[in-house]
Structure 1
Amino acid sequence: MTMIFTSPFELAASVGEQLGHSEWLAIEQQRIDLFAEATGDHQWIHVDPDKAAQGPFGACIAHGYLSLALVNLFLPQIVEVRGIAMGVNYGCDRLRFPNVLKVGARVRGSAELLAVEEIKGGVQACIRVTVEIEGEERPACVVDTISRYYPA
């Protein structure tokens, strides 16, 4: 269920809170191949199922940056900020890839609101997004995202 804030200024009251989870998403080889095509990273561990089956993980794995890119899919499923003219991705702090993400695994995002501050013309929020792998203790990705929201 999406947590809805009717104004960016409401975010400050939820600092330190878990915001929820996204839907589960299966990581299929086609998604990995499309990411490889988009980025030019065609390393065999990602795109050669036969060779990867003989490799250290027993299957193809998603690019670490693919798991990061999925944050853009997951975050709007978790939190919605209304009453804005515009929201922008400002950047990221602390980024880690603690676990490999094998083809066929299911992932979802979870989010925690770490900090909120007023900036010129708006609000900046730091949200830690964890890309969880179903059945695994360690996540595929943990990143502190920085978003800016400008009121309507």
Structure 2
Amino acid sequence: MLDITRLPVRPATFDDLQALIGREIGPTGWHEVTQERVTAFAGLTLDRQWIHVDVERAEASPLGGTIAHGLYSLALGPAFSYELLSFDGFDRSLNYGYDKIRFPDPVPVGSRIRMRTTLLSAERVSGGIQLRSSQVFEREGGGKPIVVAESLGRLVE
């Protein structure tokens, strides 16, 4: 049985993956959401909506300050996943996409966020194994998740 208390968890076989189905792994360590990081993300994505980058205007809004892009949080999914799971026992792992992405709660700049994952399925497909995982991101002190998504990955044996 794989030890899910020691991170990253290191499944190396299809049977290891099957044993992980339904088991929550995590959380990751905390990630600090700073204005510098949000502004850099805005520059990379060309999404410079004022609620993310105009501190003065955002402070006067009902949110009381700037917030991170929903996609900023989601984009941390791969890095957070590496913290939780290692697929070194496989030839390679690939991001295959996402399903059912929701952003239920905003992330004010200055927040700390982290993620938990649960493997929902592992199925053999042509060329490898397809994984479906639930990723739930939370904000320290928040009452509900900030991102809930189903991640799809492929492993090549």
TM-score tier (shorter): over 0.9
Matched with 2:109 is 103
Alpha-carbon distance in structure 2 between the residues aligned to 1:132 and 1:2 = 19
Matched with 2:42 is 36
TM-score of the pair, normalised by structure 2 = 0.92
- Structure 1 position 121, deviation (Å): 2.3
Alpha-carbon distance in structure 2 between the residues aligned to 1:34 and 1:46 = 11
Matched with 2:90 is 84
- Structure 1 position 8, deviation (Å): 4.6
What is the aligned-residue identity percentage? 35
Q: Aligned with 1:6: secondary structure?
A: coil
Alpha-carbon distance in structure 2 between the residues aligned to 1:124 and 1:63 = 28
- Equivalent position amino acid for 1:58 in 2: G
Structure 1: runs of 5 or more not aligned? none
Write out per-residue CA displacement over residues 55-103 of structure 1, whole angstroms, 9 at most, x where no aligned residue: 1210100001111101121111011122222111111111000000000
Paired residues, number: 151
Matched with 1:141 is 147
Equivalent pair of 1:8/1:82 in contact (CA under 8 Å): no
Alpha-carbon distance in structure 2 between the residues aligned to 1:58 and 1:130 = 25
Q: Does 1:22 align with 2:28?
A: yes
Matched with 1:64 is 70
Alpha-carbon distance in structure 1 between the residues aligned to 2:67 and 2:9 = 31
Matched with 1:4 is 10
Moved over 3 A (4+): none
Matched with 2:4 is none
Q: Does 1:113 align with 2:119?
A: yes
Structure 2: runs of 5 or more not aligned? 1-6
Equivalent pair of 2:10/2:89 in contact (CA under 8 Å): no
Equivalent pair of 1:111/1:127 in contact (CA under 8 Å): yes
Alpha-carbon distance in structure 2 between the residues aligned to 1:91 and 1:75 = 14
How big is the alpha-carbon RMSD for the aligned residues of Structure 1 and Structure 2?
Answer: 1.1
